[in-house]
Amino acid sequence: MQQVLGIFLVVGILLAGYQLFSPGELSYPEPKEEETKQEDPPSQYSSIFASFTAWLDGLEKESGVQAIPESLSEEELKELFQQGLDSYNSAKYEDCISQYDRYIAINSKNTSAFYNRGLAKYSLKRYAEAETDFDYAYSLDSNNLDALSYRGLSKISLERSEEGIKDLDLAIDSGLNKSYVFAERAIQLSASGKTREGVRDAEKAVELAPKYARAIFSQGYAYYSAKKYRESIGAYTRVLAILPDDSISYFNRGLGYAILKQKANACLDYKKAWDLGYDPAEKEYKDLCK
């Protein structure tokens, strides 16, 4: 009997365990550089001391009242945007969110700021908040198809898969041609039984980014779902050449070996997955190998 594969989304997505694909490691999508023209800053350019800013932040949280936005020059505003970008790329997601909170309080019309803050929230598994940011980023600029796709991934993480897939479909149909979105849709399609479409998307993901581990993972998942077990094993072997400590790929490859009755190989993979902390592998190992 075919067993269910472990799904590792980012995004979440995996869905989203970040043992394998933390957003900080993803090649696609990257947080966006500042694209939207800044609004003219207020005429007052007085400096705001850090202690006073902290006091205002605390007052706002306690009272629930929006504090008066900082008064920053255009150059200071650009620097704040870049600080948020740097924090995200350093996996300092809380700092990133705080910096974009400040930025958005002054300039609430920048689609990239909402998108980047959404990525940070998504990375922290705050999917409902992330969905709101991605939705607003997309409403500001309908060409921001990464925001649309990540709105879909947020919905999937919130167990609204049908809605999420519609967003992925719309992003792709609107011209988004990036590996990550095909990889994530491939997994969702395969999980829903649309195996031919899943394989097609996974192969497209790998074509676009041959060394992108998530794309290759989606190929392994899609092949297994389509009962192409040897091809699935080959894909997971390629993932493990890039990410040698990925427990999910060991487990899923073990499932393929077990289907093909290669018990020794299956036991080795289940044991490795178990040793790396993937608890479901313990049962498979004990059932097959003891």
| Residues 239-282: tens digit of each pLDDT | 999 999 999 999 999 999 999 999 999 999 999 999 999 999 99
User: What are the structure tokens assigned to 48, written together?
Assistant: 């705001």
pLDDT (tens digit per residue) in 217-232:
999 999 999 999 999 9
User: What pLDDT is recorded for position 30?
Assistant: 55
- Name the band, by pLDDT with cuts 50, 70 and 90, for residue 39: very low
- Distance CA(145)–CA(149), nearest Å, equals 6
- Do the domain assignments include residue 19? no
pLDDT (tens digit per residue) in 144-180:
999 999 999 999 999 999 999 999 999 999 999 999 9
- Name the band, by pLDDT with cuts 50, 70 and 90, for residue 216: very high
Residues of the domain holding 265 = 245-289
* Residue for token pair 């190929």: 219
Report the number of distinct structural domains present in the chain.
1
- Distance CA(41)–CA(76), nearest Å, equals 10
User: What pLDDT is recorded for position 217?
Assistant: 97
- Do the domain assignments include residue 207? no
- Distance CA(125)–CA(121), nearest Å, equals 6
User: What pLDDT is recorded for position 290?
Assistant: 81
- Do the domain assignments include residue 121? no
- Do the domain assignments include residue 272? yes
Q: Name the burial class of residue 1, with classes exposed (0-12), middle (13-18) and buried (19+) by CB atoms within 10 angstroms of its CB.
A: exposed
- Do the domain assignments include residue 268? yes
- Do the domain assignments include residue 261? yes
Average pLDDT of the chain, as a whole number: 82
- Name the band, by pLDDT with cuts 50, 70 and 90, for residue 82: very high
- Do the domain assignments include residue 254? yes
Residue type, 216: I
- Distance CA(245)–CA(249), nearest Å, equals 9
pLDDT (tens digit per residue) in 84-129:
999 999 999 999 999 999 999 999 999 999 999 999 999 999 999 9
Q: What is the average pLDDT across 68-79?
A: 82
Which pTM value belongs to this model? 0.78
- Do the domain assignments include residue 239? no
Closest Cα partner for 204 from 184, 225, 228? 184
